[in-house]
Structure 1
Amino acid sequence: MNWSLKMGKRYMPTVLIFAFLLLAWQLVVSVFGVREYILPSPASVLNAITNSEIPWGSHMLVTATEVVGGFLLAAVVGVLLGTAIAWSDTAARALMPFLVFVNTLPKVAIAPLILLWFGYGLVPNLLIGALIGFFSVVINTAAGLSQIDQDMLDLGRVFNAPKWRVFVKIRIPNAYPYILSALKITATSAVVGAILGEFVASQAGLGYVIITSQSTMNTPVAFAAIAFVSIIGLSLFGIVSLLARVLAPWAVDGGR
């Protein structure tokens, strides 16, 4: 009971905000008579979700696979590159300019090239999602591994700990909050990348549904697809937040 009350107090403001926005949305559409193809009411969107002939489950599965795959790829590559940068000054000097260059590339412009190189399907959309989200993981990993209390490093030297042991016992635990914060950003970035890839060219996924519904001015279906995209992003963000509470509880809400 205490746990449920704590969760209720924690998330009740968010629930109230969403409820207020939905109510305001419904009132605006009803009072001003906004046409459905411009702004559908929440009731119309709900009807599109429940009564539509669109196979929402299969489209959600495609997009969720792209999002999760892009997120995991960005996380693994980002942590490895960040570790290399923190481990070696030579690697840092060699990698950082190249990574900054890659990160500054306009993703909208290179998305068609990725589709050209890798064809249509899950892989290019997964890569676009990873490309958008990996840089923050690299930077935060390197920062977490480098910004150590000097007294901790001195303690390691006193005990003649080798470099790899200092990394495992001191630097990596210190980097947990940094990495997990970056992963929260990457969780949302992966969603953007997957949808961007589906916008450019795809035959399945929620981005594909949004594009096709807009071409037929079926705005309630487009809003329903956007709602499902948000659910995927919020779910992945929630999983990362839960992981942060498990691995680095001292860094989440002051350890509460």
Structure 2
Amino acid sequence: MLRTALMLVAGWQALVVMLAPPRYILPAPLDVLAAFRRQAGFLLDHALVTLVEIAAGFAAGALLGVATALAVAALPGFGRLVWPVVLVLQAFPVFVLAPLLVVWFGFGLASKVVMTALIIFFPVASAFADGLRRTDPELLDATAMTPATRLQALVHVRVPLALPSLVTGLRVAAPLAPLGAVVGEWVGASAGLGFVMVQANARMQTDTVFAAMVVLAVLTLLLRRGVDALAPRLAPWAREG
């Protein structure tokens, strides 16, 4: 990962040297570093706001996705009713939903958490529901020959076998979580990295925009690392995933 980052920075610097664009169009890496050092406390304060939004939205979206997948598996009629609605909601671009969420939930934390949760929800629910649906029919037939109820078969057989799929869904969702928070901040906020980007862009402070983007990238990588660290505990038999 470090090698990839160094290659990207080297390519970025080479592009600046070759094209020599104005700093407000493409600042050099050293300009961005200087902007970060100049505003480190300011950027980290806003990063903390975005981190809270990301963490709360990720947790809410993941829990809602898991609950929906379990309900669809336990109640097929519920799945036929709810799943088309989920697909329609997923089809709406986030930029369409964000202004409505700000109107409904305000400019504070709630609208950003809801936005993030909506983005996280679908990959988690879809992956987990697919894992539950793919349970070996022969195994289910064997379970049906025991005194176990359908609920017990779901909890003790289908869920453990579907946990690797849930891990996959969480890994796919993790890089998307910051998108929900930042888009919500772009639409309306008084704090957060998205707010910093909008304000800096309006003032043509492109170096500050890039500095905020770098901080956001670090938060994204940390979230993905956190999910990767959780995966062996959630599904020890799926470590290679």
Asked if 2 retains the 8 angstrom alpha-carbon contact of 1:74 and 1:186, the reply is: no
- Corresponding pairs, count: 241
Q: Trace 1:151-166 onto structure 2 (pairs within 5 A).
A: 151-166=138-153
> What are the Cα deviations for residues 197-242 of structure 1, in whole angstroms up to 9, with x where unaligned?
0000111000011011111111110000001111111111111111
Q: Trace 1:101-250 onto structure 2 (pairs within 5 A).
A: 101-250=88-237
Q: What is the rounded CA distance, in whole Å, between the counterparts of 2:50 and 2:70 in structure 1? A: 30
List alignment gaps of at least 5 residues for structure 1.
1-13
Q: What is the rounded CA distance, in whole Å, between the counterparts of 2:40 and 2:67 in structure 1? A: 44
Q: What is the rounded CA distance, in whole Å, between the counterparts of 1:185 and 1:192 in structure 2? A: 13
Q: What is the rounded CA distance, in whole Å, between the counterparts of 1:21 and 1:233 in structure 2? A: 17
Q: What is the rounded CA distance, in whole Å, between the counterparts of 2:18 and 2:119 in structure 1? A: 41
When normalised by structure 1's length, the TM-score is 0.89
Asked if 2 retains the 8 angstrom alpha-carbon contact of 1:63 and 1:206, the reply is: yes
Aligned amino acid, residue 27 of structure 2: P
When normalised by structure 2's length, the TM-score is 0.94
Percent of aligned positions that are identical: 34
SS at match of 1:109: helix
Q: What is the rounded CA distance, in whole Å, between the counterparts of 1:18 and 1:53 in structure 2? A: 20
Q: Which residue of 2 aligns with 1:70?
A: 57
Q: Trace 1:10-89 onto structure 2 (pairs within 5 A).
A: 14-52=1-39, 55-89=42-76
Q: What is the rounded CA distance, in whole Å, between the counterparts of 2:240 and 2:85 in structure 1? A: 35
Q: Which residue of 1 aligns with 2:84?
A: 97
SS at match of 2:197: helix
Q: What is the rounded CA distance, in whole Å, between the counterparts of 1:246 and 1:52 in structure 2? A: 38
SS at match of 2:25: coil
Q: What is the rounded CA distance, in whole Å, between the counterparts of 1:25 and 1:140 in structure 2? A: 36
List alignment gaps of at least 5 residues for structure 2.
none
Deviation for aligned residue 1:113:
1.2
Q: What is the rounded CA distance, in whole Å, between the counterparts of 1:86 and 1:53 in structure 2? A: 48
Q: What is the rounded CA distance, in whole Å, between the counterparts of 2:224 and 2:181 in structure 1? A: 15
Aligned amino acid, residue 178 of structure 1: S
Deviation for aligned residue 1:50:
1.0
Q: What is the rounded CA distance, in whole Å, between the counterparts of 1:249 and 1:48 in structure 2? A: 43
Q: What is the rounded CA distance, in whole Å, between the counterparts of 1:191 and 1:32 in structure 2? A: 31
Asked if 1 retains the 8 angstrom alpha-carbon contact of 2:74 and 2:151, the reply is: no
Q: What is the rounded CA distance, in whole Å, between the counterparts of 1:182 and 1:189 in structure 2? A: 11
Q: What is the rounded CA distance, in whole Å, between the counterparts of 2:51 and 2:219 in structure 1? A: 6
Q: What is the rounded CA distance, in whole Å, between the counterparts of 2:42 and 2:140 in structure 1? A: 56
SS at match of 1:198: helix
Q: What is the rounded CA distance, in whole Å, between the counterparts of 2:89 and 2:67 in structure 1? A: 16
Deviation for aligned residue 1:54:
6.0
Q: What is the rounded CA distance, in whole Å, between the counterparts of 1:23 and 1:96 in structure 2? A: 46
Asked if 2 retains the 8 angstrom alpha-carbon contact of 1:67 and 1:126, the reply is: yes
Q: What is the rounded CA distance, in whole Å, between the counterparts of 1:88 and 1:211 in structure 2? A: 45
Deviation for aligned residue 1:66:
0.7
Asked if 1 retains the 8 angstrom alpha-carbon contact of 2:128 and 2:166, the reply is: yes
Relative to structure 2, which stretch is displaced further, 75-84 or 169-178?
169-178
